[in-house]
Structure 1
Amino acid sequence: MIQIAIFSDVHGNLPALEAVLEDIERRGIQQKFCLGDLVDFAPWGNEVIEKIKDLNIPCLMGNHDERIAFDIPVVPLSKHSQEETDARFIAIDHSKKNITEENKKFLSELPFHLKLNYKIGKKHWNIQLVHSSLSSNDTYLYEAENDDIFVNMLQESQSDTIVMGHTHLSFKKSFEHKKWAINCGSVGRSKEENRLASYLILTMNEHQILPEIVQIDYPLEQTVHGIEESGIPNYYASFLKNEKVSII
């Protein structure tokens, strides 16, 4: 049996990341992978990057990582309210000004995809890791999508399981021939009702892959206080507290 942990979308929320890493450590899982979006919306972007670097956790380039690394202009999104649009511009500008040049370089060199192969007995399992999809790190794929979308991704990547993040909403979808499409949710900015930090454990044996979405508490008030004491709009503190804000 082999177990690996996969997480995504930390978004500068160091207290949430530390809680997830402690939970993974408590379970004795050695192999960890991150699907990207280390920065924006909470004030510990540099500390999160340093933690990933210090622990040598393989990490993909999320869309927010790419924007900060290459100073890509922020474009308003039609799905966002004016309130969120204004807050988003300020929060991303905060990252652009505060992430160190060394850490921007680190973000700029992150891989776009990662393919894992595990051999257990006579069986090879292929695990495809993406931030959001095979062709983009900014595509929103939800559980309600037509199954053909995920089946095609599995076929294109020649994988048994594809794991993604980006939407901040976890799900597990099983298909024929023991295949899975999974969203591991978000560590630092969950859009689920409970706002808990979310990550994925994959347990593999010679016969099957068993996915488990783990959701845990973290010191939320510490994150809220950190946002309120930073130059990041309090909008994001209210969101984490699940107060009524205009957000999609």
Structure 2
Amino acid sequence: MKSIQVAIISDIHGNLTALEHVLADICQKGIHQIYCLGDLVDFAPWGDEVISLFKQRGIPCLLGNHDERIAFDYPVVPLTHHDAVETANRDIAIAFSKRTISPENKLWLSNLPFELSLTFKVEGIFKRVLLVHATPASNEEYLFEEDDKGTVLSELARRGMDVLVMGHTHHSYIQQFSEALLVNCGSVGRSKEADRKATYTILTISADSIMAEIQKVEYPIHAVADAIYNSEIPDFYADFLLKS
């Protein structure tokens, strides 16, 4: 039976090393379609290089909330789930991105779409996939596995979508409902899962189904942590990566 495979990545957060290892893994699997759900910047030293790689590779990408803040120089608003220590370190890390990402790359970020709707035709059957950074309503809303999905499922049914793929939470999951398949593809560069491995998703689309698989990729995480320690980004973000 014919099928189409698509790789979906998200939440790079300036971690060029993790991104390169994930792209190599996707290439090794022979997958040629790649989409990114955004948040290319902040928390590792290579935000500018990550953006340049996306531009060079021509990988379609969405506007994550971190990308939007850098592109339009929006103020940093404290988050209720961050304590005082993380809030202070977050301010410093985002200021680093604002200072070091080039005007050309900020302009490129500012033109990224909020969402992408993909329609695949497989053996005469149409399958529709909606890609968002966080939810269809906001690129800042958190939708965890345990959260109620009623509103999102109603929106997907209204729009005739078979699958929703999102990121933002840095926690991957797959949930099949009668209305649609929901997938969080996890984070490439700043996973909050216990193993801290770079995480992405493969969709396999056929005429009778859409299957999702979470992929985990090892990368030299200690080298990335050392680069953060040796940069102007707070040590907080290196310590986080090493808490595996």
TM-score, length of structure 1 as denominator length? 0.96
Offset from partner CA, 1:126-171 (integer Å, 9 cap, x none): 0000000112100000000113133123224321000000000001
Q: Which amino acid in structure 2 is aligned with residue 78 of structure 1?
A: T
Q: Matched residues in 1 for 2:50 and 2:159: separation?
A: 30
2:94 pairs with 92, 95, 99, which one?
A: 92
Q: Which amino acid in structure 1 is aligned with residue 65 of structure 2?
A: N
Q: Matched residues in 2 for 1:2 and 1:69: separation?
A: 34
Counterpart in the other structure of 2:82: 80
Matched, 1:230 2:226: no
List runs of 5+ in structure 1 lacking aligned partners: 244-248
Counterpart in the other structure of 2:31: 29
Counterpart in the other structure of 1:246: none
Counterpart in the other structure of 1:208: 209
Q: Matched residues in 1 for 2:148 and 2:116: separation?
A: 24
Q: Which amino acid in structure 1 is aligned with residue 197 of structure 2?
A: L
Counterpart in the other structure of 2:73: 71
Residue 128 of structure 1 contacts residue 157 of structure 1 at CA under 8 Å; is this kept in 2?
A: no
Q: Matched residues in 2 for 1:133 and 1:58: separation?
A: 18
3-state SS in 2 of match to 1:176 = coil
Let me know the Cα RMSD of the aligned residues.
Answer: 1.0
Q: How does 1:33-72 map to 2 (within 5 A)?
A: 33-72=35-74
Residue 16 of structure 1 contacts residue 218 of structure 1 at CA under 8 Å; is this kept in 2?
A: yes
Q: Which moved more, 1:155-164 or 1:211-220?
A: 155-164
Q: Matched residues in 2 for 1:152 and 1:194: separation?
A: 34
3-state SS in 2 of match to 1:48 = helix
Q: How does 1:1-248 map to 2 (within 5 A)?
A: 1-176=3-178, 179-242=180-243
Q: How many pairs were matched up?
A: 242
Q: Which amino acid in structure 2 is aligned with residue 68 of structure 1?
A: I
Q: Matched residues in 2 for 1:197 and 1:216: separation?
A: 5
Q: Matched residues in 2 for 1:189 and 1:242: separation?
A: 11
Residue 136 of structure 2 contacts residue 152 of structure 2 at CA under 8 Å; is this kept in 1?
A: no
TM-score, length of structure 2 as denominator length? 0.97
Post-superposition, which runs of at least 4 consecutive aligned residues in structure 1 deviate over 6 A?
A: none
Q: Which amino acid in structure 1 is aligned with residue 82 of structure 2?
A: H
Q: Matched residues in 2 for 1:204 and 1:216: separation?
A: 22
Q: Judging changes above 3 Å, is the alpha-carbon distance between structure 1 residues 5 and 88 closer, same or farther for their aligned structure 2 residues? A: same
Q: Which amino acid in structure 2 is aligned with residue 193 of structure 1?
A: A
List runs of 5+ in structure 2 lacking aligned partners: none
Offset from partner CA, 1:178-230 (integer Å, 9 cap, x none): x2011000000001111010000000111100100001111101210111111
3-state SS in 1 of match to 2:192 = coil
Q: Which amino acid in structure 2 is aligned with residue 64 of structure 1?
A: H
